[in-house]
Amino acid sequence: MALEQIKMPQLGESVTEGTIEKWLVSPGDHVNKYDPLAEVNTDKVTAEIPSSFTGVIKELIAAEGDTLAVGEVVCTIETEGGGTEEAPAEKTSEQPKEESKSAPQQEQSKAAPAKAERPAGAGRFSPAVLKMAGEHGIDLSLVEGSGKEGRITRKDLQKIIDSGELPQAKEAPVAAPVEEAPKSTPAAQTTAAAPKQDIPTLPGDVEIPVTGIRKAIAANMLRSKHEAPHAWTMIEVDVTNLVQYRDSIKTEFKQKEGFNVTYFAFFVKAVAQALKEFPMMNSMWAGDKIIQKKDINISIAVATEDALYVPVIKHADEKTIKGIAREINELAGKVRAGKLKSDDMQGGTFTVNNTGSFGSVQSMGIINYPQAAILQVESIVKRPVIMDGGMIAARDMVNLCLSLDHRVLDGLVCGRFLARVKEILENMTKENTSVY
């Protein structure tokens, strides 16, 4: 028998820590390799920690709600016939030794004074750490981190907050740069959020605990609004031809393909085509430069009862309307079944949100950071329209609402982009558009 450690995995390029939302196993449970052990929430995604071994769970090191840095041990597992053939006994004897040392070492680091030379990762903070420090007025330069390479984690800050001894600078501290944020972005300056408000609870009021997912959504939305100067514009599109075309094929398509071809698939296709013609819309702000992305990966918003997920249709410009419709159906199914993976949410370059599914006719979306724009597709409604020659006709109309990062985009390119999307949509007919 050998005792192995399961560590917090890297769940994204810039993810430095994760919070144990729920344990799926208990000590004594037998698990197979790749079985899910726990649900973990980060500021980017909720995912599962898979087992790296087959064996019996020995100890759960982290409790539900604990935040651990990438690489920290979350639990131990006793494997059957584990260890190397050369020195099986040495591995089993060393592991408990290291485990027994970890607790006192953490206690010592709590009381240890700041060192003259800090570890390499000590000066880089995640958005969640910066936000938490700003809310409580904690000077991060006075905090000793227990994470990988000396990084400060939310767990470190929570211990300090619980102790009641907050290390605060005599003068207002200059916030450190956000992990992997562009050099000259104002991210650090905006992370000092307003202090928590004590709102009185009256009889009949309901207190709803904020889940890890909701906290991550809130942090990302706050960062987007603070960092990106949002501008907004809207265009009206006559999609009468598109509606007639889609309605004429929807029954046959469902019988043949096994899933629906929605209006939304046509909109995503039109946006992907227009992005190819206006690549500046497919860009991101990087401080001293703007990154124009080569791949056109469309993020779409999928809501559940208590959260909002943004999976990605990758290389959308290379897909047919049928291919996009299938991917929308599959991604939405994964979200609702709780099977969405981290990779399904990575790499988005532009977001299209189907707000019209709720009956909305006009809305202002918050940009999905670090993208430069988000397009809201509103509800298709019949309205009287004055046609050429002065005739009035009932037409299927839709509003497309665009929020843009004014550091990257201006009205000229956005106006031309929306005009092109409008042109593509208004010319989607049975004669010149194929779903295959």
Q: Helix, strand, or coil here: 351?
A: strand
136 catalytically annotated = no
In Å, how far are 74, 247, 344 from 77, measured between CA atoms?
A: 10, 56, 29
CB 296 within 8 A of CB 387: no
Q: Give bridge partners of residue 18 from the DSSP assignment.
A: 68
Q: Match 């004594």 to its residue by tokens.
A: 28
- The helix (run of H) or strand (run of E) holding residue 22 is strand 17-23
The DSSP line for 222-234 is: HHHHHHS-EEEEE
Nearest to 214 by CA among 403, 46, 16, 24: 46
406 catalytically annotated = yes
Peptide bond into 370 cis (omega under 30): yes
What ranges in 47-178 are assigned the alpha helix state H? 88-111, 127-136, 154-163
Neighbours of 423 (CB within 10 A): 12
Neighbours of 83 (CB within 10 A): 17
- Token pair for 50: 């898979």
Q: Report the DSSP pairing between strands 392-405 and 381-386.
A: antiparallel
Q: E strands of 301-368, at which residues?
A: 302-303, 308-309, 312-313, 350-353
What is the C-alpha to C-alpha distance for residues 363 and 350, in angstroms, rounded to an integer? 17
Looking from the CA of 7 toward its CB, the CA atoms found within 13 Å total: 10
The DSSP line for 363-398 is: --PPP-TTBSEEEEE---EEEEEE-TTS-EEEEEEE
Nearest to 61 by CA among 112, 9, 8: 8
Q: Give bridge partners of residue 50 from the DSSP assignment.
A: 36
Catalytic amino acids? 406, 410
